[in-house]
């Protein structure tokens, strides 16, 4: 038979064999995949917070949640908000993949191009035989361009040393600790008024909100407390950051005062132009002090200094004492502040260490099992096995050789990341019982009791 005729007859068989083997070859060659998507049209504005979605795909299903690393980009602020990862499933070239997505928050502090670092993320997933497989993915080259939108306001503020303005439409509200009477707050000399100003920035972290402008009127002392910052606040109208400033005004003399409106600056994300939001001004009427002493009839008070226009000498003494006391307290606070800061830092580290300890993670796993929360149970179980045994849940279960424990761990992972349709509910009783057999804490040691005292007068 001529060679060409043999090739013509064998070609259909080769194509049929390749089509039959292609799914198996694709599955055998499948590995973890990573995707990076920038959630905004470029160039973004300086000061605008945009989301960067990082999605990791693994064949079959994950055996442990991957750890997303911090990303450092010069000239920009990149954070990873403490939000639950988003799970997904999809099919690529006939291979079922499980996906986990986390979103980074990116904010450019100056115009230019920014490149994300090529970070490597370790992945542990199940093979076709259910055995653990280790892999890794590297973030692809991703460039983000940032500009000033034609105004240069945010960049100019950063260049002159001022704080960068957030690119978000801010809303400002205020509350007073004294209820107004027909639009006027009525006080007495010596009273204080607390003005709480709340600023909300949609789709922006609280640390990007600049402090509000609040100047006291003449003759009124104002004290500003440390601001309270929170992200994803429960009472907020949507996702974003909230800044709460408490302003205390002290009125020492009777009169009528107007507290100016409190304004917060921002940049309009639609036009790129500077704008501001404000809480309205407050009118205050201050009457004489409640405990003001009665003046002597026909002349100045008995405790007045000569030539001082009737100013009591006791007031001067109290003022001098208050100034000396304030100076002493300021000096003492200046010396004790670093020690208090170090003490608070050690206490915070101790609380974090206790919260991240193996016992706390095990307790979180059991609580999630009792609540039948599959996602929380998987995350807590992975953290506990890493902290207590330095391995993944599947590898730990295989090493123990407990068939019930292996089945419970595999069932949890298949429920979350399997390619089959997700069942309507997951019950954690089996996993909790299996953990109870291998993860019970050791009983506390008892001190050896010494011999009892001999009886008196034997």
Q: pLDDT digits over 319-338, tens only?
A: 888 888 888 888 888 888 88
- Please tell me the predicted confidence (pLDDT) of residue 312: 58
Class at the top of the CATH hierarchy for domain 28-147: mainly beta
Which of 11-25, 248-262, 348-362 holds the top average pLDDT?
248-262
Distances (CA, A) of 317 to 103, 289, 303, 313, 328: 61, 19, 12, 6, 16
Q: In which band, very low, low, confident or very high, does the pLDDT at 114 lie, cut at 50, 70 and 90?
A: very high
Range in 18-27, 122-131, 195-204 with the lowest mean pLDDT: 18-27
Decide if pLDDT at 283 tops 50. Answer: yes
Decide if pLDDT at 307 tops 60. Answer: no
- Please tell me the predicted confidence (pLDDT) of residue 68: 92
Please, what is the end-to-end C-alpha distance for the chain in angstroms? 120
Rg over alpha carbons for the chain, rounded to the nearest Å, is: 34
Distance between CA atoms of 407 and 272, rounded to whole angstroms?
56
Question: What percent of the chain shows pLDDT beyond 70?
Answer: 77
Which architecture does CATH list for 165-291?
A: Sandwich (2.60)
- Please tell me the predicted confidence (pLDDT) of residue 277: 93
Residue 273 φ/ψ, nearest 5 degrees: -100, 150
Decide if pLDDT at 66 tops 50. Answer: yes
Mean pLDDT of 78-102: 88
Mean pLDDT of 43-71: 90
Decide if pLDDT at 443 tops 50. Answer: no
- Please tell me the predicted confidence (pLDDT) of residue 47: 84
Q: What's the whole-number average pLDDT of the chain? A: 80
Range in 309-318, 375-384, 424-433 with the lowest mean pLDDT: 309-318
Closest by CA to 311, choosing from 303, 319, 320, 323, is 303
Answer whether 238's CB lies under 8 Å from 169's CB.
Answer: no
List the domain boundaries for the chain. Answer: 28-147, 165-291, 358-438
């Amino acid at each position: 038979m001529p060679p060409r005729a043999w090739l013509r007859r064998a070609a259909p068989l080769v194509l049929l064999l390749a089509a039959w083997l292609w799914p198996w070859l694709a599955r055998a060659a499948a590995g973890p995949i990573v995707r990076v998507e920038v959630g905004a049209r470029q160039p973004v504005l300086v000061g605008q917070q945009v989301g960067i979605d990082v999605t990791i795909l693994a064949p079959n299903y994950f055996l442990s949640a991957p750890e997303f690393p911090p990303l450092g980009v010069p000239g920009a602020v990149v954070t990873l908000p403490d939000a639950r990862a988003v799970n997904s499933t999809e099919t690529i070239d006939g291979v079922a993949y499980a996906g986990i997505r986390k979103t980074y928050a990116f904010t450019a502090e100056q115009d230019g191009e920014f490149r994300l670092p090529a970070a490597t993320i370790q992945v542990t997933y199940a093979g076709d035989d259910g055995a653990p497989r280790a892999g890794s993915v590297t973030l692809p080259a991703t460039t983000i361009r940032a500009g000033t939108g034609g105004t240069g306001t945010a960049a100019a503020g950063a260049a002159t040393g001022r704080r960068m303005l957030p690119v978000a439409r801010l809303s400002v509200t205020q509350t007073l600790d004294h209820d107004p009477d027909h639009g006027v707050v009525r006080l007495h000399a010596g009273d204080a008024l607390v003005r709480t100003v709340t600023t909300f920035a949609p789709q922006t972290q609280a640390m990007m909100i600049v402090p509000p402008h609040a100047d006291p009127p003449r003759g009124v002392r104002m004290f500003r407390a440390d601001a309270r910052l929170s992200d994803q606040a429960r009472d907020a109208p949507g996702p974003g950051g909230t800044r709460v400033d408490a302003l205390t005004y002290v009125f020492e003399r009777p009169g009528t005062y107007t507290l100016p409106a409190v304004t917060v600056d921002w940049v309009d994300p639609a036009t790129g132009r500077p704008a501001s939001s404000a809480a309205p001004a407050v009118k205050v009427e201050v009457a004489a002090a409640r405990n003001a002493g009665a003046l002597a009839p026909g002349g100045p008070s008995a405790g007045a200094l000569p030539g001082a226009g009737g100013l009591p000498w006791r007031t001067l003494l109290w003022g001098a004492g208050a100034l000396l006391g304030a100076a002493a307290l300021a000096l003492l606070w200046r010396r004790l502040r670093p020690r208090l800061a170090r003490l608070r830092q050690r206490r915070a580290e101790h609380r974090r260490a206790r919260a991240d300890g193996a016992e706390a993670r095990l307790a979180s796993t059991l609580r999630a099992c009792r609540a039948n929360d599959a996602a929380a149970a998987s995350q807590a179980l992975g953290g506990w096995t890493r902290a207590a045994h330095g391995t993944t849940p599947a590898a730990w279960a295989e090493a123990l050789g407990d068939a019930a424990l292996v089945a419970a761990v595999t069932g949890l992972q298949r429920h979350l990341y399997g390619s089959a349709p997700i069942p309507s509910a997951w019950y954690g009783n089996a996993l909790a019982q299996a953990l109870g057999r291998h993860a019970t804490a050791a009983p506390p040691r008892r001190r050896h009791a010494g011999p009892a005292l001999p009886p008196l007068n034997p």
